[in-house]
Amino acid sequence: MEFKVNSRELEKLLSKVIPAVPTRTPMPILENFLFEIKDGLLTVYASDMEISLRSSISVVSEENEKYVVPAKLLYDIVRSLKDTTIHFKFTTSGKINIVTDFGKYTLNYIEGVNYPDIPKFEIDKDANEISINGNELKTAFDKSSFAMSKEEMRPAMMGTLFEFSNNGLRFVTTDGHRLVNLLYKNIKSISNNQYVVPEKAISVLSKILDDKDVTIRMNKSSMSFKLNDIELITRLISQKYPDYASVIPLENELTLKVNTKEILDSIKRMMLFSTNTTKRVKFSISQKELDIFAEDVDTGASGEEKVSCEFSGDNLEIGFNCAYVQDVLSHLTSEEEIIFKLHSATKAVIIEPVEKKENSDIMMLLMPVRLNS
Amino acid sequence: MEFKVNSRELEKLLSKVIPAVPTRTPMPILENFLFEIKDGLLTVYASDMEISLRSSISVVSEENEKYVVPAKLLYDIVRSLKDTTIHFKFTTSGKINIVTDFGKYTLNYIEGVNYPDIPKFEIDKDANEISINGNELKTAFDKSSFAMSKEEMRPAMMGTLFEFSNNGLRFVTTDGHRLVNLLYKNIKSISNNQYVVPEKAISVLSKILDDKDVTIRMNKSSMSFKLNDIELITRLISQKYPDYASVIPLENELTLKVNTKEILDSIKRMMLFSTNTTKRVKFSISQKELDIFAEDVDTGASGEEKVSCEFSGDNLEIGFNCAYVQDVLSHLTSEEEIIFKLHSATKAVIIEPVEKKENSDIMMLLMPVRLNS
């Protein structure tokens, strides 16, 4: 069995698929690509059993076969070659002979039948399909993925919630300390449903999405993202997502308006002074001035800064984890001004842009921490 | 005691000195800067006891004092501030109060007398001085530092030899497997001598050198590099440098001429196929063609490439450590063509550019490895 392919084209193909190859895995066979040659089309698959990626190119070949090929070594060879024709020959003794004008290389392959059943997408009666611009989807991930939980105790929170409703498509992430709630109003789906997409799918998609449209298909157990020339399929997290709406406070009547860059710069400096273990920072809010204070109990260093603000209430003191404040604010830097909606020193705080957008709503939630005063 | 300084100016000053602050040290006081304020001049020192760096700026202050100040925290604060005036106030209770228009910060200091005696340069009867362009010095380090040894058994080889003679200034580095020998003919010194400069000094200098001239002063035990606005002082390695000249073969009569980029690209691919532990690669040289072969005994993968060449001898087979060949060749990429001068499969190989330069000579040496054939 043999075929020929251009080195630059094969490099492009492999670079798309290799993000799904796991670096550490209890199943070493997943460190390989599956090469499927069928009717003059080479399809390359990679998977870590949670997500799978596949992409195809035309090759000159008349046979139909499947081979399991070392992923990293092959990718490293192909991308180190100049623009040339590569001639692949799979021998019956388990060797791949790769020949170019100036070199020949030999690798081992494994028969295709040994490759495991990787995530596939099957259309069933619950299947659903939408289309979304790739950049828009990437923006949603960029703004929300930081708040996914790393705690394995609650698997659903380790993913991103996709919620389809009459309002549009909503993305929710939370780790219990902060929450991101982003709604795209112009994405409508025929049915209302919730899907929890694992972190690995989100991070790989973030790398490969571009300004082209993406077709998302989903059923009860899996989701497919079809880009121009590549398809990512992911298993869904089966655990139900927590009821995020119930933790969003409704009575936060106090508003604190600040310039986003100004408060973020200040928070970044306060990070230097907050105690490493607690990262606590204190906001002392008055009508025109927000005073931010942090103290490192280990080194005795402390810092205090004043940020101008507009506050609708009387004086209020509230504590936060400085790192969480920085996370939230650094994902709102596209907004010039933001509003903190508060109720008291112990209630969750809502953070929103001052200027509303027509097609999307973004809202973040931050839990305060107790001040030892 | 107090003084005022512009944040950007102080940031520039600290950024120059901080490379000497050790990240791990048995003497925690070295994780600080020494601030010396004298006659309106602030001089900041940092040291790991092997090298020291110092730089100064004018400040508005009428007192003369020394303080030991947390290096990383202060540097992080200063560089996170916008362009503003910083007001430093050292209280008698061991606190530094740092005040700007919008914030105030408190750090702890230690009395200056507690800071250890760091490397200083003293002019003695053996002292000597030369001047060299900063870029030229940086180029010498860039081309040679990779070959310094990491083996603590032979301390001299862990540094770079500076050899002054009637021929000029010679830089030599070697780890016993490869050797770099670079001569700058236009640098003349009044006396002939050898100095061995530790790796840390070389790596810090590489970061701070620019196109300005550098004054190098040296005595028996230390060397000073005076740049425009910063001085680096390093202790010298006291062990005698090995007799490098005796390992350079004189009878290597066979010449192999190759294109540098072509052979380097090929060697990089062969790295993928060579066995991880030995990195062995085989050169089979004939009059017009160099055949490079590597085989990974662990995975069974192998690669073979042909590079066109001009060889003055009959057929010759010789083995190398692929990583060492790559190191040497990647530091000769400014040369279009290079010559390997060989004698036999067991003798050291000389690698030189085809085109000689008027003011400098560079020569590298590579030890072959045995081929199991």
Q: Which residues contact B51 (CB under 8 A, 6 or more apart)?
A: B20, B119, B198, B200, B201, B204, B232, B233, B234, B235
* Burial of residue B211, with CB atoms counted within 10 A of its CB: 0-12 exposed, 13-18 middle, 19 or more buried: exposed
Q: Using the beta-carbon criterion (under 8 Å), do B272 and A76 form an inter-chain contact? A: yes
Residue B372 has pLDDT above 80, yes or no: no
Q: Sign of torsion, CA B43 B46 B49 B53?
A: negative
Give CA–CA dist A254/B342, Å, rounded. Answer: 82
pLDDT at A191: 79
Q: Using the beta-carbon criterion (under 8 Å), do B306 and A103 form an inter-chain contact? A: yes
Residue A373 has pLDDT above 60, yes or no: no
**Looking up tokens 């809010």, which residue turns up?**
A285
Q: Using the beta-carbon criterion (under 8 Å), do A107 and B301 form an inter-chain contact? A: yes
Q: Out of B107, B272, B301, whose CB is closest to A106?
A: B301
pLDDT at A61: 86
> What average pLDDT score do residues B86-104 get?
95
Chain B residues closer than 8 Å to A290 by CB: none
pLDDT at A63: 86
The superfamily (CATH) of domain A2-114 is DNA Polymerase III, subunit A, domain 2 (3.10.150.10)
- State whether residue B201 is helix, strand or coil: helix
Are the C-beta atoms of A182 and A146 separated by less than 8 Å? no
pLDDT digits (tens, 9 = 90+) for A275-311: 999 999 999 999 999 999 999 999 999 999 999 999 9
Q: Which residues contact B64 (CB under 8 A, 6 or more apart)?
A: B37, B38, B39
* Burial of residue A339, with CB atoms counted within 10 A of its CB: 0-12 exposed, 13-18 middle, 19 or more buried: middle
**Residue A178: in which H helix or E strand, if any?**
strand A178-184
Q: Out of B102, B108, B299, whose CB is closest to A299?
A: B108
Q: Using the beta-carbon criterion (under 8 Å), do B70 and A299 form an inter-chain contact? A: yes
pLDDT digits (tens, 9 = 90+) for A40-96: 999 999 999 999 999 999 998 888 999 999 999 999 999 999 999 999 999 999 999
Q: Using the beta-carbon criterion (under 8 Å), do B73 and A306 form an inter-chain contact? A: no
**Residue B262: in which H helix or E strand, if any?**
helix B260-273
pLDDT digits (tens, 9 = 90+) for B223-241: 999 998 999 999 999 999 9
Q: Which residues contact A114 (CB under 8 A, 6 or more apart)?
A: A29, A68
What is the DSSP track for A232-264?
Answer: EEEEPP-SPPP-GGGGS-S---EEEEEEHHHHH
Its pTM stands at: 0.90
Band (pLDDT 50/70/90 cuts) for residue B126 is confident
Residue B190 has pLDDT above 80, yes or no: no
Q: Out of A102, A108, A303, whose CB is closest to B299?
A: A108
Q: Give per-residue burial for B121-133: e unless 16+ CB within 10 Å, then b.
A: beeeeeebebebb
Domain ranges of chain B: 2-114, 128-177+184-245, 248-366
Are the C-beta atoms of A220 and A315 separated by less than 8 Å? no
Chain A residues closer than 8 Å to B275 by CB: none
Give me the amino acid identity at B138. K
Are the C-beta atoms of A55 and A16 separated by less than 8 Å? yes
pLDDT at A291: 98
User: Does the domain at residues A248-366 carry the CATH identifier 3.10.150.10?
Assistant: yes
> What average pLDDT score do residues A170-183 get?
97
Give CA–CA dist A308/A257, Å, rounded. Answer: 9
Q: Do domains B128-177+184-245 and B248-366 have the same CATH topology?
A: yes
Min Cα separation B106/chain A (Å) = 5
pLDDT at A256: 98
Give CA–CA dist A352/A150, Å, rounded. Answer: 25
Q: Give the closest residue to B254 by CA, choosing from B317, B320, B329, B177.
A: B317
Min Cα separation B315/chain A (Å) = 20
The CATH class, in words, for B128-177+184-245 is alpha beta
Chain A residues closer than 8 Å to B303 by CB: 77, 103-106
CB pairs below 8 Å between A and B: how many?
Answer: 83
Paired tokens of B358: 């008027």
CA angle A168, A170, A176 (to 5 degrees): 160
Taking any CB pair shorter than 8 Å as contact, residues of chain A touching chain B are 70, 73, 76-77, 80-82, 102-108, 265-266, 268-269, 272-273, 299-307
Chain A residues closer than 8 Å to B103 by CB: 266, 269, 303-306
Q: Using the beta-carbon criterion (under 8 Å), do A70 and B299 form an inter-chain contact? A: yes
**Looking up tokens 């991880």, which residue turns up?**
B276
Paired tokens of B263: 């052979």
pLDDT at B248: 95
Q: Give the closest residue to A273 by CA, choosing from B114, B220, B104.
A: B104
Paired tokens of A80: 């180190």
**H-assigned helices in B37-168:** 71-80, 134-144
Band (pLDDT 50/70/90 cuts) for residue B1 is confident
* Percentage of residues in chain B having pLDDT higher than 90: 92
pLDDT at A122: 86
Paired tokens of B300: 């069974």
Q: Using the beta-carbon criterion (under 8 Å), do A269 and B107 form an inter-chain contact? A: no
Give me the amino acid identity at A243. D
Say how many Å lie between the first and final Cα of chain A, rounded. Answer: 76
Paired tokens of A299: 């080194």
Give CA–CA dist B313/B289, Å, rounded. Answer: 12
- Helices B7-17 and B71-80 cross at an angle (nearest 10°) of 140
Q: Out of B102, B268, B301, whose CB is closest to A73?
A: B301
Q: Using the beta-carbon criterion (under 8 Å), do B80 and A106 form an inter-chain contact? A: no
> What average pLDDT score do residues A260-268 get?
97
Taking any CB pair shorter than 8 Å as contact, residues of chain B touching chain A are 70, 73, 76-77, 80-82, 102-108, 265-266, 268-269, 272-273, 299-307
pLDDT at B373: 53
Give me the amino acid identity at A317. E
Paired tokens of A307: 């940020």
Give CA–CA dist A293/B143, Å, rounded. Answer: 50
pLDDT digits (tens, 9 = 90+) for B137-189: 999 999 999 999 999 999 999 999 999 999 999 999 999 999 999 999 999 88
Residue B104 has pLDDT above 80, yes or no: yes
Q: Out of A80, A303, A304, whose CB is closest to B269?
A: A80
**Residue A208: in which H helix or E strand, if any?**
helix A199-208
Q: Which residue of B has its CA nearest to A265?
A: B80
